[in-house]
Chains A and B, each alone.
Chain A
Amino acid sequence: MLTAIRQMANQIRQDIIEMLVPAKSGHPGGSLSAADILAVLYFSVLKIDPQNPQWPDRDRFVLSKGHAAPVLYATLAEKGYFPREELLKLRQTGHFLQGHPDMQKVPGVDMSTGSLGQGISAAAGMALAGKIDKKSYRVYALLGDGELAEGLVWEAAMAAAHYRLDNLVAILDYNGLQIDGKNEEVMTIAPVAAKWQAFGWNVIEVDGHNVEQLLQAFEAAANHQGRPTIIIAKTVKGKGVSFMENQVGWHGSAPNAEQAEAALKELREEQ
């Protein structure tokens, strides 16, 4: 299973590169850094049914860092929510794959996001609904590290702990970069683990590209009672494409056909 998930993550990375070329815009860096996390979630952790995206008892996933829409769309397509060919029409006028996730348009998207900080708040609301209705579904939300500067993240963190939402799992894509530079240059977010601990969360730290560690972390989160969990996943922005790795410039610009070919070659060789 580990190998299958690793291969899926690689396939998702290839999809991300391929879909960004015709779109001519979009966010490769933060999409590539989260590919392993989404592969683990969608191909092992989440209880979902692509044939029935609105199944009331499904687990939810909220992409709080909504600009990484390509990694979510690629994963949903690979999971069978819609045909893979659709990915090539990302961001085009009239197409359902919006630049940022739209729950009204895209099957499998549980919350519309794009404005940083808002996804985790809505995810916590969903988790609260699960508690009220005594349902067993769980809610997962992926945060960016730059996103942690948003005050709303901490409002949501405080409330999730207050209401003991142990059915809520946040994952931090801790790639160290945002748009204007490194986190420390733009706004210091360290010490990250201590902050979440202080807010009353169960904190697990993993290598965000290590499938085995991620699986173990999700299992530990599911077994933890009384507190929400955050999995702090150390990642590399642009992971898997050598010339994109740790390059802040690849946050929000799409590769051209030539760059994409080079990227795909690397990814295929790794497969």
Chain B
Amino acid sequence: MADYILTDQKKVATRDAYGKALVELGKEKPAIVVLDADLSQSTKTVNFAKAYPERFFNMGIAEQNLMGFAAGLAAAGKLPFASTFAVFATGRAFEQIRNSIAYPKLNVKIAATHAGLTVGEDGASHQAIEDLALMRALPNMTVLVPADAEETRQVVRAAAAHSGPVYIRLGRLAVPTLFSTEYTFTLGKANILREGTDVAIIANGLMVSEALKAAAELSSQQVGCTVVNCASLKPLDEETIISVAKTTGAVVTAEEHNIIGGLGSAVAEVLAEKYPVPLRRVGIKDTFGESGRPEELLIKYGLTAQDIVNAVQEVLKLK
């Protein structure tokens, strides 16, 4: 186990870590402006709004215009962070992101919260399960999915340092803080959290924590797991993916997203072309979510450590 993995894992939502990171960065980078669409309390951009009211702009409930303004601000030299829920950012404003941000390669950071089923009680209309598929298919777009609060802090800084459009996927639910400040996120790089020779579990977002739990459980059954945190969904660290496929010969992916178009698909594409090994994808099985407590939804939709354990057992049979 990597020594930056904490034993005392406090629960913090990645959206909260985002809100804090923005305030920190705002001091260092005067070019940062933050835009929201009437959800600043929920996306946590409210922290920035309080700290730097002259650099915060509420665009009202108008997500297309949120992206258009962000594009214009970036074209004129500002460093805009645009936030709203992931469903509205990538769905309602998809074509604004495509034509006004990604195509002209403008320096806009889209930090979308409330991604995935763990939105919970608000139900399927508010649970983005396809946002990564949409963003990943856009040329010029960088797509980042932090696993915890510390990684979010680093991802936000990396996004600000990178020149060009970035999509950051954040969650509503408080999730375990896995990493100490010793952890290092690098854009385009995956991190190997633990090594074993039987199977590689490649996860991102809140499923990293589940992957670590699954690996602990499997080790008691004498199954050695490599666990990879793939926060940089695009650019994807193909080298690490191929290397863990080589050392283990079997791969399981785990993500809080539709199995179509997200991490599972990205890994499948790389393996199919470059180093085919048996693969199982843990994720939302091409269905919309529903209202409910986040923890219950994760169980109902097959997104737990136990589901990863089951997938590992299946994939081992194919070796």
Contact = CB atoms under 8 A, between A and B. Distances in A.
A113 B98 CA distance: 11
B104 A125 contact: no
Interface in A112-139: 112-115, 117-118, 120-130, 132-133
A115 B73 contact: no
A156 B68 contact: yes
Interface in A123-170: 123-130, 132-133, 151-152, 155-156, 158-159, 162-163
Provide the main secondary structure of the chain B interface: helix
Contacts of B54: 132
Contacts of B77: 56, 129, 133
B44 interface: no
A67 interface: no
A104 interface: yes
A187 interface: no
Contacts of A121: 64-65, 67-69, 71-72, 96, 100
Contact of A103 (B55, B70, B104): B104
Nearest to A162: B60
Interface in A84-116: 102-104, 110-115
Contacts of B126: none
Nearest to B95: A115
A138 to B, nearest CB: 12
Interface residues of A, number: 34
Contacts of A111: 71-72, 75, 100, 104
Contacts of B74: 125
Nearest to B76: A129
A162 B70 CA distance: 16
B75 A110 contact: yes
A111 B76 CA distance: 10
Contacts of A130: 76
B275 interface: no
A13 interface: no
Nearest to A103: B104
Contacts, number: 109
A104 B69 contact: no
A60 interface: yes
B168 interface: no
Nearest to A54: B77
Contacts of B157: none
Contacts of B62: 155, 158-159
A124 B75 CA distance: 11
A124 B68 contact: yes
Of the candidates B57, B64, B65, B100, the one having the most CB atoms from chain A within 10 angstroms of its own CB is B65
B33 interface: yes
Contacts of A128: 57, 69, 72-73
Interface residues of B, number: 29
Contacts of B95: 115, 118
Residue with the greatest number of chain A CB neighbours at <10 A, chosen from B68, B74, B75, B103:
B68
A46 to B, nearest CB: 15
Which of B62, B72, B78 has the most chain A CB within a 10 Å cutoff?
B72
Contacts of B72: 111, 121-129
A125 B68 contact: yes
A88 to B, nearest CB: 25
Contacts of B68: 118, 120-122, 124-125, 152, 155-156
A104 B100 CA distance: 12
Contacts of B78: 129, 132-133
B266 interface: no
Nearest to B71: A122
Nearest to A62: B72
Interface in B175-218: none
B25 interface: no
A122 B100 contact: yes
Contacts of A56: 77
A125 B70 contact: yes
A114 to B, nearest CB: 7
Nearest to B35: A125
Interface in B25-59: 33, 54-55, 57, 59
B105 interface: yes
Interface string B15-33: 0000000000000000001
A132 B99 contact: no
B60 A158 contact: yes
A103 B62 CA distance: 25
A156 B62 CA distance: 9
Q: Closest 9 A-B residue pairs measured CB to CB? A: A125-B72, A121-B68, A129-B76, A155-B65, A125-B69, A122-B72, A155-B62, A112-B104, A126-B72
9 contacts: A56-B77, A118-B99, A121-B64, A125-B71, A125-B80, A126-B73, A128-B72, A151-B64, A155-B59
Interface of B: 33, 54-55, 57, 59-60, 62, 64-65, 67-78, 80, 95-96, 99-100, 103-105
Given A118-B100, A128-B57, 12 more contacts: A60-B75, A117-B64, A118-B68, A118-B96, A122-B75, A125-B73, A125-B74, A129-B76, A132-B54, A132-B78, A155-B65, A156-B65
